Structure 1
Amino acid sequence: MFETINIAKGVNVHVNETTQFKTINFSIKFKDKLTEEKASARSILANVLQHSNEVYPSHTALRMVLDDLYGTSLYIDSSKRGSEHVVTLNVETVNDQYLSEKGVLEKVLNLMYIVLFKPNFENDLFKESIFIREKHSIVQRIESVFDDKTRYAQQRMMELALPNHPASITSNGTIQAVEAVTNEQLVAEYQEMLTQNEIEIYAVGDVKPEMIASYVREFLHFKDREKAIAVAPMELVKPEQSRVLEHEDMKQGKLHMAFFTPITFRDEKFPVMQLMNGVFGGYAHSKIFVNIREKESMAYYVSSSFASQFGLMFVLAGIDSKLEKKAVSLVLKQLEDVKKGNISDIELDQTKALLINQLKEALDSARGQIEIYDQYMELTESFEPEYMINKWKNVTKEDIAAVAEELSLEMTYFLSGKEDDTNA
């Protein structure tokens, strides 16, 4: 799928040479340990680098040069995966073999160099007005979570269930940590990102791997860096409270349940857990959806998800406040059915088909290929779609029942309207 070329210690170039697309997609991923402080600073940094640099000091100026490069798109975002925080430069440009003008690829790579290595500095600091503006933008982004009560409830449960654990740290950090970041600290974080972070560079398009690696060496000048020492995953510690009830000014109650499992992404049973999640609550044919939303008509939405990096499974449901106990009971009843192996052929076959289709659909886009490979190369360096497809196909009902047995409910969090104290 991808050919990997190491261009410096801790810096890898991965190229998928394919005629599937007429564009070339790049992703440069800077990976660092996830902490609240780093997430906050690096989210500001992503914004600052995207919207201003020495050559194109305004977003308008950058937009104009992108338009001149045949509508090239460029954006920088910050995200988390497990215990890592990732800042990613994403670029999509036309492959100039389809143009009468040549040299577009070199111009795009030079622009990537400018964005990363030529920041808009004044007196060795980021331009103050831009620094303040982008700090405020990140604060607003964090505050917006409060308006989405489902996201807010999930974050509150994580903070209560796993305080100071990477699972409860958001990719943007916290308002307090963002506001505490100084311009000097941001410059230090920027320099550390360029010189010390592990870097994975991806390219997808009708291009030769060695050519892309040569261009990256020529334009981006990444030097050797020490490979980060592997940090042992933090253990999941049983929460102090098994049930938490909180109130907000809202009508629909938000039920969130957190389950622990010893099975994580790198476990050989990981594909089984993916299927278990799909049978239990991951899809519209799953047990909790069919039995709680369709048969009982008591949930506006209900689903489960598997956070494989941490060994966590979540159930989320939107319900009337007075139905919390009944909903919890029904969720646990469906889990008990899975543990007993009460899984129909249709449930199993549909789940396998949907997982396979999701993977194939993701691979229909260059960005999807990059994200899939960046995740799954941790399992096997020569990842191909068939690697996961074959594992899913071989999973049995007994396998699913066995991994379900390892799940334990650790916290039930319910966010209810202020006027409704029936569950207090």
Structure 2
Amino acid sequence: MSYINEQVHDFNGFKVHMIPTDKFKTVTMFLQFCAPLNEKDVTKRALLSYVLKSSTKHSPSTQDLQKRLDDLYGASFTSMLTKKGDYHILTLYMTVANERFISGASTKLLDESVKLLSEAVFQPAAANQQFDKKIVKREKRSLKQRLEAIYDDKMRYASQRLIDEMCQHELYRLHTYGYSDELEQVTPESLFDYYQKMVAEDQVDLYIIGDIEENQSHILNAVQSEFTFSKRQERTRDVRINFDPVIPNEVKIVKENQDVEQGKLNLGYRTNIIYGDPLYYASQVFNGLFGGFPHSKLFMNVREKESLAYYASSSYESYKGLMIVMSGIEFSNYDKAVAIIKEQLEAVKKGDFTDHDIDQTKALLKNAVLEALDNPGSLTDFLYRQVLTGQPVTAEDWLDAIENVQKEDIIKVAEKTSLDTIYFLQGEEGN
């Protein structure tokens, strides 16, 4: 069976991905702008994501924009930023009810939504080559609050600090939402200049997901009419092209003192295995066995058996070949926790896991993918991964590849995995 029916249309300056499915009673549009991470622009890009979602030329206030969304039967419109490897993705997305399921709804509901999304991109609240000053000031305040919230959330803060230290000479160190101390340097004029650059140069992909089988041609005509991106130099987006493996010479240890009640111990490992690598799927299974699921070695041994951690898990950053361990511990348990986390990797290297462990991990991985296909955002993320990696992999391919991973493949991944950085956020009394 085919889990996803994706049809890609290459228009002048951008691509449209149509995904007809009867799973949803809404139609969701994800407009993705992709550019390499750039130190001088990362904060501007973050602020721009806030400004573009808050108003348009014909809806110059948040209230005006919300009223238009309400008139579209409660449509929603927002933005988000993500960092995937060395790429910075700005997404504008809109969800609108499928007019087929609304009694008396105008047949132009989706058309109006396409127009509004286009207006947000091509007709923002700007004049004389600058964004509205009041809007920029307000959204600076909103972004600053988000950045402060990351500092206040010590689990997120510790994760960010680990990457700061581990990847300090790599683009991946750059923060997705920029830097608070750079915000005041961004002016309405400089932000508008960056906006024009983004619209002119970024690689653009529009995903439309919903029960659209019957009126695809109509939707495509509407999109082609409303979205007029200029032709641009097509970049080959393949994370493998610029990937430079990093082999740690020694483990970097960073300890930071703050007024916290619980220690945050994060360990960064290098696998140097990314999309396209023959061991990529084995890396997924390895991470699941090591710390990705409740039956994993980290959870069972560090948290349950030894009671050394309030939480202990790992995640695999497959655009960069990193595995990140996150744990919350008592300050005094630092040495014990580091030692036992290291022991779990050695155990996997020695093949100290059962066929049942492998089967359970595979089942959970496959179930996670199937669940992702039932959510428009996760489904788009799965499909967009193919764009970024240059790897056209279907859901069926992915599921089959996971099933075909062998024990020796998992051991090979473990043997290629080396500890790079240890970051420990401890209390003021810590040493």
Alignment TM-score, normalising by the size of structure 1: 0.94
Aligned to 1:332: 342
Query: Quick check: 1:225 aligned with 2:228?
Result: no
Query: Quick check: 1:399 aligned with 2:425?
Result: no
**Contact conserved, 1:282 with 1:304, CA < 8 A, in 2?**
yes
CA displacement at 1:239 relative to structure 2: 7.6
Query: Quick check: 1:25 aligned with 2:28?
Result: yes
CA displacement at 1:296 relative to structure 2: 0.8
**Contact conserved, 2:43 with 2:182, CA < 8 A, in 1?**
yes
1:182 to 176, 181, 187: 187
**Contact conserved, 1:161 with 1:239, CA < 8 A, in 2?**
no
1:49 to 32, 47, 52: 52
> Structure 2: how far apart are the matches of 1:193 and 1:127?
18
CA displacement at 1:167 relative to structure 2: 2.2
- Relative to structure 1, the CA distance from residue 167 to residue 344 in structure 2 (aligned partners, 3 Å threshold; closer, same or farther) is same
Aligned to 2:219: 212
User: What is the CA deviation profile of residues 107-150 of structure 1, one whole-angstrom value per residue up to 9, with x for unaligned ones?
Assistant: 11111122111111243211111112212221221122111112
Which piece of structure 1 moves more, 379-388 or 395-404?
379-388
User: What is the CA deviation profile of residues 311-347 of structure 1, one whole-angstrom value per residue up to 9, with x for unaligned ones?
Assistant: 1111111111111111111111111110011111221
Which piece of structure 1 moves more, 171-180 or 307-316?
171-180
Aligned to 2:165: 160
> Structure 2: how far apart are the matches of 1:397 and 1:25?
40
Aligned to 2:74: 71
> Structure 1: how far apart are the matches of 2:244 and 2:222?
39
Aligned residue identity for 2:219:
I
**Contact conserved, 2:298 with 2:341, CA < 8 A, in 1?**
yes
CA displacement at 1:233 relative to structure 2: 2.7
1:305-316 superposed matches below 5 A: 305-316=315-326
Q: What is the DSSP-based 3-state SS (H/G/I as helix, E as strand, rest coil) of the residue aligned with 1:53? A: coil
> Structure 1: how far apart are the matches of 2:221 and 2:392?
22
Aligned residue identity for 1:34:
L
1:130-209 superposed matches below 5 A: 130-208=135-213, 209=216
Q: Please report the RMSD computed on the Cα atoms of aligned residues, expressed in angstroms.
A: 1.8
Query: Quick check: 1:410 aligned with 2:417?
Result: no
Aligned to 1:60: 63
CA displacement at 1:351 relative to structure 2: 0.6
> Structure 2: how far apart are the matches of 1:193 and 1:278?
37
- Relative to structure 1, the CA distance from residue 5 to residue 269 in structure 2 (aligned partners, 3 Å threshold; closer, same or farther) is same
In structure 1, stretches of 5+ residues that fail to align are none
Aligned to 1:5: 9
1:282-321 superposed matches below 5 A: 282-321=292-331
Aligned residue identity for 2:227:
L
- Relative to structure 1, the CA distance from residue 263 to residue 365 in structure 2 (aligned partners, 3 Å threshold; closer, same or farther) is same
Which piece of structure 1 moves more, 224-233 or 96-105?
224-233
> Structure 2: how far apart are the matches of 1:107 and 1:3?
23
**Contact conserved, 2:269 with 2:324, CA < 8 A, in 1?**
yes
Aligned residue identity for 1:245:
K
CA displacement at 1:237 relative to structure 2: 6.5
Q: What is the DSSP-based 3-state SS (H/G/I as helix, E as strand, rest coil) of the residue aligned with 1:77? A: strand
1:83 to 86, 92, 97: 86
Aligned residue identity for 1:365:
N
**Contact conserved, 2:74 with 2:96, CA < 8 A, in 1?**
yes
Runs of 4+ off more than 4 Å:
377-382
**Contact conserved, 1:7 with 1:213, CA < 8 A, in 2?**
no
CA displacement at 1:6 relative to structure 2: 0.2
1:234-383 superposed matches below 5 A: 234-236=244-246, 238=248, 242-378=252-388, 382-383=392-393
Aligned residue identity for 1:91:
M
Aligned residue identity for 1:291:
N
CA displacement at 1:268 relative to structure 2: 2.0
**Contact conserved, 1:2 with 1:17, CA < 8 A, in 2?**
yes
> Structure 1: how far apart are the matches of 2:124 and 2:250?
46
**Contact conserved, 2:251 with 2:419, CA < 8 A, in 1?**
no
**Contact conserved, 1:36 with 1:174, CA < 8 A, in 2?**
no
- Relative to structure 1, the CA distance from residue 178 to residue 241 in structure 2 (aligned partners, 3 Å threshold; closer, same or farther) is farther
Which piece of structure 1 moves more, 151-160 or 22-31?
151-160
> Structure 1: how far apart are the matches of 2:166 and 2:391?
34
- Relative to structure 1, the CA distance from residue 200 to residue 406 in structure 2 (aligned partners, 3 Å threshold; closer, same or farther) is same
> Structure 1: how far apart are the matches of 2:330 and 2:44?
39
- Relative to structure 1, the CA distance from residue 36 to residue 234 in structure 2 (aligned partners, 3 Å threshold; closer, same or farther) is farther
Aligned to 1:110: 115
**Contact conserved, 2:386 with 2:392, CA < 8 A, in 1?**
no
**Contact conserved, 1:49 with 1:119, CA < 8 A, in 2?**
yes
Alignment TM-score, normalising by the size of structure 2: 0.93
**Contact conserved, 1:280 with 1:286, CA < 8 A, in 2?**
yes
Aligned length: 420
> Structure 2: how far apart are the matches of 1:326 and 1:313?
20
Q: What is the DSSP-based 3-state SS (H/G/I as helix, E as strand, rest coil) of the residue aligned with 1:405? A: helix
> Structure 2: how far apart are the matches of 1:4 and 1:275?
31
Percent of residue pairs identical: 35
